[in-house]
């Protein structure tokens, strides 16, 4: 049904035509049409008030909009961007989350019209950071990268934090930035503001590779190379600066036939044979070996391999949670405290080995941290990490330097088959009984630990605002019979979901942003939900308020593209992480933060006015409810929300919670 426009009916074409005439003649006296239009508009605002309803267009704008368009010369051959689409289609990329811009209009037009908007399908994004973070979340479920087009300087500036998160989280995202390279042909004005000699310089410190193709054949090679580099472990983001001129250049190849190089995946680097055997010998002869993993399971097969290694040794496994590495339900899954008892530790794809074996305590004597070892003297350390092959100098994601006894610059998952074999071969027959006993002790500790966790979770069960454990378990009650995928974060909720939900499959937990750039969770959960769509899985997220507010427009993207996701808010009405930081310093300086007048120290609360997240979500097409403050209301509301999501729509439930 056509919607009735309540605004005054002013014929814009006539209005402009009048201006064009007036503009050409005197540029001041409006034509009768203009005068009428102005009267119609101003009569709404009160008698006698001659307020124009809109800025009068310039004569130039009026001429452009009203003149009969002149036929432009038609392209005689397909433009270069059609060939670019042919190249992109060979890479089997499903989606293109992007915000539109003129610097890539040639490729945009080719993708939707020549490429029929499939593989990749354009997903309209309201912010470049959201677009890249969606790709980030998508990859962690689907294992496939997406492509994002960015507008020259400004689009890439917006995208940069999300690219940094992907870099730190070892996730491939492919970013193509439009740029008007040729200064002699570049349109003056805005496009020139949005151009640079080298847009990739913005992100070069945290991308694996970048390029600026200057011919169509160059583009074909660089696109396939970019994909290949991004997808070779350690995975990471790549950037291509795409000249606007090249997109509109006729599709020719300077006499040579254009070709598209075939993509053949590069096999990941496995650990050196001697180092693998030495590590196996140390593990097999250890009394208390501990396996610590962060991004070790790159694929679902990585989880199986880790189970095999852990069971061969009956070794405790500490999952630092960068990925879903090891089933939480397994009797060998243990908390980080076991590290203190270890005599041999093997760390796999750890983002911070130093902090794994050292404790750092804030606010020491001189305002610096205190540090102490977490491990016994003489504990031997082994590392397998592909990131050792990919270090850059400026950004400090490589963390503090840690001395390690056996260090393999290699991909953990690719090394595991050889390591498992070597460990099994190295276990002396005499050790078998002791290994079994070790397993039994860990099984008992697991059961006891579970009871302690449940008892802690019950504390303040009826509190309002609602306890984070209660919220987590009320949510669990509604999804436990579904094939659920947890696409959010529980880090700011005392990790209750990781401690209480039976996480076993790779899509049960996706880990965090990598670089801890806030504003990741909301768009990444939408991207992950997109990857789950159509698989029969139910996507559920726990969503903090501060993170939500960075770029909430991704809610609209989810509704517009019908991405089913249940987002349940951990709305603690503040940037609680920072509440704790400022509070800590106030304590140290013996001062009362903000004189106790606000929920948190000034600058850390998100209240007065309290944001109505349910209304925000509803305005962007989501089913929504809340804010819920009474825990007894959770179950019925979540139940309804689950039904909505099962029907294929996104739903948000806003819940007022305790800080952690
Ligand atoms: C882009 C960015 N800006 C600021 C920070 C600092 N920071 C770390 S945690 C945090 C609070 C986030 O608030 P919310 O998402 O509501 O989580 P909460 O701590 O309240 O549970 C902030 C602002 C950051 N990590 N990233
Ligand atoms: Mg918060």
Alpha-carbon distances of 644 from 82, 307, 370, 570, rounded to whole Å: 40, 37, 50, 20
Q: Are 96 and 120 in contact (CB under 8 A)?
A: yes
Say what the pLDDT of residue 276 is.
98
Share of the chain above pLDDT 70, in %: 88
Q: Are 546 and 518 in contact (CB under 8 A)?
A: yes
Residue to substitute in 522, 568, 570, 578 for testing ligand 1 pocket (most ligand atoms within 8 angstroms of CB): 578
Residue pointed to by tokens 């947890």: 486
Q: Which whole number is the average pLDDT over 372-380?
A: 95
| Nearest ligand to the C-alpha atom of residue 515 | 1
Per-residue pLDDT of 272-330, as tens digits, reads 999 999 999 999 999 999 999 999 999 999 999 999 999 999 999 999 999 999 999 99
Q: Which whole number is the average pLDDT over 614-632?
A: 98
Question: Is residue 630 scored above 70 in pLDDT?
Answer: yes
Say what the pLDDT of residue 511 is.
96
Q: Are 395 and 205 in contact (CB under 8 A)?
A: yes
Residue pointed to by tokens 């041999």: 344
Q: Are 107 and 240 in contact (CB under 8 A)?
A: no
If DSSP codes are grouped into helix, strand and coil, which group holds residue 292?
A: strand
Q: Which backbone phi and psi does 317 adopt, to 5 degrees?
A: -120, 125
Q: How far is the CA of 571 from the centre of ligand 1 (A)?
A: 13
Nearest CA to ligand 1 atom 5: 518
Alpha-carbon distances of 403 from 381, 400, 491, rounded to whole Å: 8, 10, 28
Q: Which whole number is the average pLDDT over 31-58?
A: 45
How many other CB atoms are there within 10 angstroms of residue 357's CB atom? 22
Question: Is residue 364 scored above 80 in pLDDT?
Answer: no
Say what the pLDDT of residue 53 is.
53
Say what the pLDDT of residue 7 is.
45
Q: How far is the CA of 577 from the centre of ligand 1 (A)?
A: 6
Instruction: Give the pLDDT band of residue 367 (cuts 50, 70, 90).
Output: low
Closest CA to 657 of 471, 457, 500, 462: 471
For 495, the enclosing helix (H) or strand (E) is: none
Q: Which whole number is the average pLDDT over 528-554?
A: 98
Burial of 595 (0-12, 13-18, 19+ CB in 10 A): exposed
Nearest CA to ligand 1 atom 3: 518
Task: Answer whether 574 contacts ligand 1 (Cβ < 6 A).
Answer: yes
Closest CA to 383 of 359, 399, 360, 361: 399
Q: Which whole number is the average pLDDT over 160-176?
A: 98
Which tokens is 534 given? 């159509």
If DSSP codes are grouped into helix, strand and coil, which group holds residue 422?
A: helix
Q: Which backbone phi and psi does 24 adopt, to 5 degrees?
A: -70, -35
Closest CA to 526 of 496, 561, 491, 478: 561
Question: Which of 143-157, 237-251, 587-601, 630-644 is the least confident region?
Answer: 587-601
Question: Is residue 75 scored above 80 in pLDDT?
Answer: no
Say what the pLDDT of residue 16 is.
46
Say what the pLDDT of residue 589 is.
86
| Nearest ligand to the C-alpha atom of residue 550 | 1
Q: Which whole number is the average pLDDT over 30-52?
A: 40
Say what the pLDDT of residue 3 is.
41
Say what the pLDDT of residue 60 is.
66
For 655, the enclosing helix (H) or strand (E) is: strand 651-655
Q: Could you give all domains of the chain from N- to C-terminal order, each with its CATH number?
A: 12-66 (no CATH), 80-248 (3.40.50.970), 275-314+325-389+400-445 (3.40.50.1220), 458-573+610-655 (3.40.50.970)
Say what the pLDDT of residue 33 is.
42
Say what the pLDDT of residue 8 is.
46
Say what the pLDDT of residue 596 is.
62
| Average pLDDT of the residues of the chain | 90
Question: Which of 257-266, 360-369, 501-510 is the least confident region?
Answer: 360-369
d(CA 565, CA 383): 37
Question: Is residue 242 scored above 90 in pLDDT?
Answer: yes
d(CA 155, CA 151): 4
Task: Answer whether 547 contacts ligand 1 (Cβ < 6 A).
Answer: yes
Question: Is residue 452 scored above 60 in pLDDT?
Answer: yes
d(CA 611, CA 583): 24
Question: Is residue 585 scored above 90 in pLDDT?
Answer: no
Instruction: Give the pLDDT band of residue 403 (cuts 50, 70, 90).
Output: very high
Give the nearest ligand 1 atom to 570 CA.
21
Say what the pLDDT of residue 254 is.
61
Say what the pLDDT of residue 74 is.
74
| Nearest ligand to the C-alpha atom of residue 607 | 2
Alpha-carbon distances of 148 from 189, 305, 530, rounded to whole Å: 25, 33, 15
Instruction: Give the pLDDT band of residue 44 (cuts 50, 70, 90).
Output: very low
How many other CB atoms are there within 10 angstroms of residue 456's CB atom? 12
Which tokens is 237 given? 């983001």
Closest CA to 384 of 275, 513, 283: 275
DSSP string, 516-573: --TT-HHHHHHHHHHHHTTTT-EEEEEEEHHHHTT-TTHHHHHHHTT---EEEEEB-S
Say what the pLDDT of residue 30 is.
38
Q: Are 522 and 547 in contact (CB under 8 A)?
A: yes
If DSSP codes are grouped into helix, strand and coil, which group holds residue 220?
A: helix
d(CA 137, CA 140): 5
Better-scored residue on pLDDT, 586 or 446 = 446
Instruction: Give the pLDDT band of residue 15 (cuts 50, 70, 90).
Output: very low
Residue to substitute in 496, 546, 568 for testing ligand 1 pocket (most ligand atoms within 8 angstroms of CB): 546
Per-residue pLDDT of 455-495, as tens digits, reads 999 999 999 999 999 999 999 999 999 999 999 999 999 99
- Rounded to a whole number, what is the largest CA-CA distance in the chain? 103
Q: SS in 3 state form for 117-134?
A: CCCCEEEECCCHHHHHHH
Question: Which of 95-99, 191-195, 311-315 is the least confident region?
Answer: 191-195
**Secondary structure tally for the chain: helices H, strands E:** 23, 18
């Amino acid at each position: 049904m056509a919607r009735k426009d309540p605004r005054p009916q002013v014929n814009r074409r006539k209005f402009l035509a009048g201006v064009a005439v007036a503009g050409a003649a005197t540029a001041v006296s409006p034509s009768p049409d203009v005068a009428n239009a102005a009267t119609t508009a101003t009569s709404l605002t009160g008698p006698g008030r001659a307020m124009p309803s809109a800025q009068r267009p310039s004569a130039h704008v009026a001429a452009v909009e009203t003149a009969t368009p002149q036929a432009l010369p038609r392209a005689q051959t397909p433009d270069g961007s059609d060939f670019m689409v042919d190249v992109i289609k060979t890479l089997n990329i499903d989606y293109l989350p992007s915000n539109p811009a003129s610097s890539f209009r040639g490729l945009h037009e080719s993708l939707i019209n020549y490429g029929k908007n499939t593989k990749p399908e354009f997903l309209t994004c309201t912010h470049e950071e959201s677009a890249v973070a969606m790709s980030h979340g998508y990859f962690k479920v689907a294992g496939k990268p997406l492509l994002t087009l960015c507008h020259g300087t400004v689009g890439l500036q917006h995208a940069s934090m999300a690219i940094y998160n992907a870099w730190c989280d070892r996730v491939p995202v492919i970013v193509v930035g439009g740029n008007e390279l040729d200064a002699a042909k570049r349109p003056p004005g805005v496009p020139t503001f949005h151009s640079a000699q080298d847009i990739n310089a913005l992100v070069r410190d945290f991308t694996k590779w970048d390029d600026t193709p200057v011919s169509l054949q160059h583009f074909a090679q660089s696109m396939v190379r970019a994909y290949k580099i991004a997808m070779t472990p350690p995975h990471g983001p790549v950037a291509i600066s795409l000249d606007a001129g090249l997109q509109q250049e006729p599709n020719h190849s300077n006499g040579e036939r254009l070709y598209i190089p075939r993509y053949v995946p590069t096999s990941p680097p496995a650990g050196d044979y001697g180092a693998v055997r030495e590590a196996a010998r140390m593990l097999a002869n250890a009394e208390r070996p501990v396996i610590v993993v962060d991004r070790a399971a790159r694929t679902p097969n990585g989880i199986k391999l880790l189970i095999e290694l852990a069971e061969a040794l009956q070794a405790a496994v500490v999952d630092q949670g960068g990925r879903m590495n090891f089933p939480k339900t397994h009797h060998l899954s243990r908390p980080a405290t076991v590290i203190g008892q270890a005599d041999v530790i093997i760390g796999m794809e750890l983002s911070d080995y130093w902090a794994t074996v050292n404790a750092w305590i804030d606010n020491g004597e001189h305002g610096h941290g205190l540090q102490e070892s977490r491990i016994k003297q003489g504990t031997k350390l082994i590392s397998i990490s592909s990131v050792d092959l990919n270090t850059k100098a400026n950004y400090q994601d490589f963390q503090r330097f840690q001395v390690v006894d056996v260090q393999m610059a290699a991909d953990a998952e690719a090394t595991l088959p050889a390591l498992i074999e070597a460990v099994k071969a190295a276990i002396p027959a005499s050790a078998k009984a002791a290994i079994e006993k070790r397993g039994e002790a860990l099984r008992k500790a697991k059961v006891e630990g579970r009871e302690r966790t449940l008892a802690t979770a019950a504390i303040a069960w009826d509190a309002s605002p609602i306890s984070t454990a209660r919220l987590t378990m009320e949510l669990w009650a509604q999804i436990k019979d579904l094939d659920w995928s947890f696409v959010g974060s529980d880090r700011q909720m005392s990790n209750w979901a990781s401690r209480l939900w039976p996480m076993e499959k790779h899509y049960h937990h996706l880990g965090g942003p990598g670089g801890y750039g806030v504003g990741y969770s909301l768009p990444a959960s939408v991207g992950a939900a997109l990857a789950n769509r159509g698989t029969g899985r139910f996507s559920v997220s726990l969503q903090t308020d501060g993170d939500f507010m960075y770029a909430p427009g991704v809610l609209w993207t989810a509704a517009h593209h019908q991405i089913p996701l249940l987002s349940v808010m951990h709305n603690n009405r503040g940037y609680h992480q920072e509440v704790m930081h400022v509070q800590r310093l106030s304590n140290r300086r013996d001062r009362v933060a903000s004189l106790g007048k606000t929920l948190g120290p000034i600058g850390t609360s998100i209240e007065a006015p309290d944001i109505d997240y349910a209304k925000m979500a509803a305005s962007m097409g989501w089913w929504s409810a809340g804010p819920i403050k009474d825990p007894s209301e959770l179950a019925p509301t979540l139940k309804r929300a689950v039904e909505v999501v099962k029907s294929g729509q996104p739903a948000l439930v806003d819940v007022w919670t305790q800080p952690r």
